[in-house]
Amino acid sequence: MAAQIRAFRPAVLLVSDDDAVQFVAAAHFRDGPFPFVYCGVNWSSESYGLPNANSTGIIETVPVDDAVALVRRLRPAVRRLAVLSEDSTSERNNTRLLDARWRRLGFEPEYALVPDFSSWKLAFLQAQRRADVLYLPTSGAIRGWDARQAREWVLAHLRIPAFTCDEFMMEFVPFGVVKVPREQGEWAAAAALRILGGVKPSSIPPAVNQKSRCLLNHPLAAALRLEPPLDSGCQSWRGAR
């Protein structure tokens, strides 16, 4: 991949997600021969030595504080949090970076980072018995993932409140406070255009995503008798049936 990029000789390189930033951009192009803009890096880019004179980027965070605030309004007594996600570089980083935050927010977190769909289903069942609330971040790297079967599994077995901070997981949870994915791409594209216009990457301050919105999956919310307060600003998720 690095050799192909060098052969292409881009004026500026846009790189998205932790693996691409760590193993391609930071590993091969940290000091040139061309600048790069990164996005989709979870919570911090410091471990990759970024940003530097040759790069700038926007960090990706998820609005867990706002999500937790809503959870507390719906179920004030919850303490045991189950986090069920894929076993990937990004999610291992998230587990490490978010653990202290979960605990500051009053949760006792337990993590299941699973490799495949069968493991996900088993961990989902275990969470219903062991936790007060379930957080489902993502599923993209879970081998054999079947969205239809996952929906059916959730409908059949969900017994505790569940939430997400990514809209593509809304079909499996009653509600979510989700980030706005296009914010990352729009910022990165704007930064790349500035660099093409002659601005040095080091002159473009790195950013952190700021936008979020509250979504409600009505069928799942009704099944658990979860009714977000009117002042929460929750909107109906368009994929809900």
Q: Give per-residue pLDDT as tens, 157-169.
A: 999 999 999 999 9
pLDDT of residue 241: 47
Classify domain 64-179+213-236 at the CATH topology level: Rossmann fold (3.40.50)
pLDDT of residue 157: 97
pLDDT of residue 97: 86
Helix 147-157 to helix 117-130 angle, to the nearest 10 degrees? 20
Residues of the chain with CATH 3.40.50.2300: 64-179+213-236
Q: Residue 241 burial by CB count (10 A; 0-12/13-18/19+): exposed, middle or buried?
A: exposed
In angstroms, rounded to a whole number, what is the distance separating the alpha carbons of residues 161 and 173? 8
As averages over each run of 10 residues, the pLDDT of the chain (241 residues) reads: 92 95 96 96 92 96 91 92 94 89 94 98 97 96 96 96 95 94 95 98 96 93 84 78 47
pLDDT of residue 129: 96
